[in-house]
């Protein structure tokens, strides 16, 4: 499979498939394709279906296969931002924000990731239920806004406002940290808790979380 990612800040990934090569996509992700791409909607078992639902995706996924020769299929982002390609393999799994998965080659598995620490679950926003990409293959993931990447050493941490965590290596961990001082919590505008990501591994942060943008626009929307 060959691919190209084009057109930021509203990107699209165009994939060129060999005959009988298959791609897995989330519901409604396909934007355009060649006529010989065969679509099949599958669930993949009750456990996987509910896992996808909890991770923010549809309970069903679509399989697209190039029939009778090479095929082409494209997947566009649903929000201004970035599409990134990740090489997934054992030991190189990725943890991503909910709804980030766009498409992948057939060897990649999408499952739900629960943060083990209860504090991160209840107060860490994206740290509670995320998506885990495992298996073997290439996964395409969409993020909100510009992506800044950091490489954390073992034990090194970064403090992130809820929602700005886009993805991280599975070797990283998440915890929550209370904003110090009552005045800071009540009047600082940053909420009560921040998310703390600790290495080793990569961390990808997004500059414009869709939830943050929606909250900014609400005061300007006409009242019902």
For the chain, give every domain's residue range: 2-216
**Nearby residues of 38 by Cβ (< 8 Å), 6 or more positions away:** 64, 65, 66, 67
**Chain mean position to CA 5:** 16
Please tell me the distance from the alpha carbon of residue 175 to that of residue 191, in angstroms, as a whole number. Answer: 16
Q: Averaged over 14-35, what is the pLDDT?
A: 94
Please tell me the distance from the alpha carbon of residue 110 to that of residue 25, in angstroms, as a whole number. Answer: 10
- Encoding tokens for residue 22? 């298959």
Task: Quote the pLDDT of residue 22.
Answer: 97
Task: Quote the pLDDT of residue 48.
Answer: 52
Q: What rounded mean pLDDT belongs to the chain?
A: 83
**Statement: residue 63 has pLDDT above 50:** yes
CATH superfamily of 2-216: Mitochondrial biogenesis AIM24 (3.60.160.10)
Please tell me the distance from the alpha carbon of residue 64 to that of residue 29, in angstroms, as a whole number. Answer: 11
Question: For the segment 198-209, what is each residue's pLDDT rounded down to a tens digit?
Answer: 999 999 999 988
- Encoding tokens for residue 176? 């929550």
Task: Quote the pLDDT of residue 161.
Answer: 86
DSSP letter for each residue of 189-203: SS-SEEEEEESSEEE
| The pTM of the whole model exceeds 0.75 | yes
- Nearest Cα neighbor of 212 from 79, 28, 53 is 79
End-to-end CA distance of the chain: 49
């Amino acid at each position: 499979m060959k691919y190209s990612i084009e057109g930021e800040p509203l990107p699209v990934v165009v994939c060129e498939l060999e005959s009988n090569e298959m791609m897995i996509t989330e519901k409604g992700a396909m934007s355009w394709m060649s006529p010989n791409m065969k679509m099949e909607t599958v669930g993949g078992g009750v456990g996987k279906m509910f896992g996808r639902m909890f991770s923010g995706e549809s309970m069903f996924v679509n399989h697209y296969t190039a029939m009778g020769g090479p095929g082409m299929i494209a997947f566009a982002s649903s929000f201004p931002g970035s599409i990134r390609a990740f090489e997934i393999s054992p030991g190189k799994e990725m943890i991503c924000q909910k709804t980030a998965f766009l498409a992948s080659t057939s060897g990649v598995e999408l499952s739900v990731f629960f943060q083990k620490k209860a504090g991160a679950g209840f107060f860490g926003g994206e740290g509670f239920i995320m998506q885990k990409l495992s298996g073997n293959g290439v996964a395409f993931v969409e993020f909100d806004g510009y992506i800044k990447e950091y490489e954390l050493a073992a034990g090194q941490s970064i403090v992130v406002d809820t929602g700005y965590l886009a993805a991280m290596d599975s070797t990283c961990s998440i915890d929550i940290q209370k904003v110090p001082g009552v005045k800071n919590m009540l009047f600082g505008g940053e909420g009560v808790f921040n998310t703390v990501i600790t290495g080793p591994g990569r961390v990808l942060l997004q500059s414009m979380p869709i939830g943050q943008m929606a909250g900014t626009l609400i005061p300007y929307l006409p009242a019902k």
